[in-house]
């Protein structure tokens, strides 16, 4: 009898162990396709050193066009990391210097100006500049990210898709497939979007870590919107393994935790994202978490974030008008109908995509409800 019990006990133990192993294999392998397969090499950012080098060369020859164009691109690269208005101004200054010294066939400087216009949400200006370049350099791959982002912002999804398809034909890569995934997402073609994200990851190459991180940021956001929180967490956590200094990753992790009502974790991620980038949108996110947690300084912190956002918008900085609209909408008891309507209409005028139209509709509902109450 004791022997029989012993056999039954060990059989059950083995079955339990097998069950744990299978469960472990499922949890560790179901997201393997999202892993970065290459060895992560420690890389130094030489942008600042390169800027010093080319600034010294320009001092010796202020009539050249190549060095100012290179400098404009370097300052643009740093601006995308820092969102610094100073880097933006220097990038524009050197791009215009390059064009002054050589206007004809100066694609590099013109691309920088188009990219800068888009960074400040001047989408029509960016689109016009990119299309001018396209007339003579249709095979220039760098045009197509500007075209795609501008068409998406302006709500021209057919043109965005056509540009994305051309981009893939010219340069099939992680970058081009990620851009088409964005377009398919905007078209509500979620299956096609996910397929493109998968293709983007399969085309990863060593030495292009920034592109890999950007793709996973967008994929993580996409999965979160599909309520696939576990998969989204895996993808974004993989990004942290690749780099612990990417503000967008922390921002997306913050939103992921916010959507699951994990407000303390979300607040920590928003703080980290802001410390790395100084972008007000992350400060506004932290403000929302303080409100949700009923923090003692929540109202004061929100007013400070609003003040900084308004300052950026007033100086044509990196502030997002849509963020201010969302903030004002959250104040149900406040009579801000006139300002809200103006902001929402201005946003639709500058960026007539689905998100802007939705914000305008929400504003109109609030204004109508306020008038009924009166």
Among candidates 122, 123, 97, 121, which has minimal Cα distance to 108? 97
Beta carbons of 217 and 209 less than 8 angstroms apart? no
The reported pTM is 0.85
Number of H helices, E strands in the chain: 19, 0
Q: Which two tokens stand for residue 93?
A: 């200054």
List the single range of 50-59, 151-160, 288-297, 317-326 with lowest mean pLDDT. Answer: 317-326
pLDDT at 5 > cutoff 60: no
| pLDDT greater than 50 at residue 26 | no
Average pLDDT estimate for 308-331: 85
What is the DSSP secondary structure assignment for residue 154, as one 8-state letter?
A: T
Copy the structure tokens of residue 21: 């192993």
pLDDT at 25: 43
Query: pLDDT per residue over 131-162, tens digit each?
Result: 999 999 989 999 999 999 999 999 999 999 99
CB 98 within 8 Å of CB 106: yes
Burial (0-12, 13-18, 19+ Cβ within 10 Å), 292: middle
| Mean pLDDT over each residue of the chain, to the nearest integer | 88
Q: Model confidence at 8, in pLDDT bands (50, 70, 90)?
A: low
User: Could you give all domains of the chain from N- to C-terminal order, each with its CATH number?
Assistant: 47-120 (1.25.40), 320-374 (no CATH)
- pLDDT tens by residue, 194-219: 999 999 999 999 988 989 999 999 99
Whether 369 has a pLDDT exceeding 80, the answer reads no
Residue 233 in this model has a pLDDT that exceeds 90: yes
Enumerate residues 6+ apart whose C-beta is below 8 A from 243: 209, 213, 249
């Amino acid at each position: 009898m004791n022997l029989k019990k012993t056999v039954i006990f060990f059989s059950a133990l083995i079955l339990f162990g097998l069950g744990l192993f299978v469960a472990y294999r499922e949890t560790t392998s179901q997201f393997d396709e999202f892993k970065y397969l290459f060895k992560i090499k420690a890389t130094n950012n030489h942008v600042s050193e390169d800027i010093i080098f080319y600034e010294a060369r320009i001092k010796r020859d202020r009539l050249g066009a190549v060095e100012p164009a290179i400098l404009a691109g370097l300052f643009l690269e740093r601006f995308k990391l820092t969102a610094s208005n100073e880097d933006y101004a220097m990038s524009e200054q050197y791009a215009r210097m390059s064009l002054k010294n050589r206007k004809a066939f100066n694609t590099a400087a013109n691309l920088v100006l188009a990219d800068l216009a888009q960074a400040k949400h001047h989408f029509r200006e960016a689109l016009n500049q990119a299309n001018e370049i396209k007339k003579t350099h249709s095979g220039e791959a760098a045009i197509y990210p500007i075209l795609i982002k501008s068409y998406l912002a302006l709500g021209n999804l057919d043109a965005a898709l056509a540009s994305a398809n051309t981009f893939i034909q010219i340069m099939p890569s992680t970058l081009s497939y990620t851009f088409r995934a964005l377009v398919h997402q905007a078209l509500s073609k979620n299956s096609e979007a996910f397929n493109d994200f998968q293709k983007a990851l399969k085309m990863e190459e060593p030495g292009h870590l920034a592109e890999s991180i950007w793709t996973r940021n967008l994929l993580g956001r996409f999965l979160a919107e599909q309520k696939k929180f576990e998969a989204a967490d895996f993808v974004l956590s993989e990004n942290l393994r690749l780099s612990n200094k990417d503000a967008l990753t922390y921002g997306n992790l913050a939103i992921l935790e916010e959507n699951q009502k994990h407000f303390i974790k979300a607040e920590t991620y928003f703080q980290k994202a802001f410390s790395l980038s100084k972008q007000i949108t992350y400060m506004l996110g932290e403000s929302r978490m303080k409100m949700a947690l009923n923090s003692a300084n929540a109202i004061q912190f929100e007013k400070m974030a609003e003040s900084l956002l308004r300052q950026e918008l007033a100086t044509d900085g990196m502030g997002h008008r849509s963020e201010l609209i969302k903030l004002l909408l959250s104040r149900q008891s406040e009579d801000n109908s006139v300002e809200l309507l103006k902001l929402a209409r201005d946003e639709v005028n500058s960026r007539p995509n689905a998100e802007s139209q939705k914000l305008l509709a929400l504003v109109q509902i609030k204004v109508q409800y306020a008038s009924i109450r009166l």
